[in-house]
Amino acid sequence: MDWDHELDARGLLCPLPVLKARKRLQGMQSGQVLRIVATDPAAVIDVPHFCTEAGHAFLGASEVQDAQVYLIRKA
């Protein structure tokens, strides 16, 4: 899947990946997709929960090398 913006949150621990995602999404247009690359084990729970609370669409997660990748479509 294509994305419009990417956030490298590797090495950051909860709640920083979600806080940085929130800030990045604020500068994006509705419908654009943010790709987050994170190593925080809590992000598996935090990112989908953040999407639900903020109204963004959680498009899924996958693993690449030593990190998880999350895709969010801005509401």
Q: Which residues does the annotation mark as catalytic?
A: 14
Q: Round to whole Å and give the CA distance between 48 and 3.
A: 17
End-to-end CA distance of the chain: 18
Both tokens assigned to 52 = 């639900």
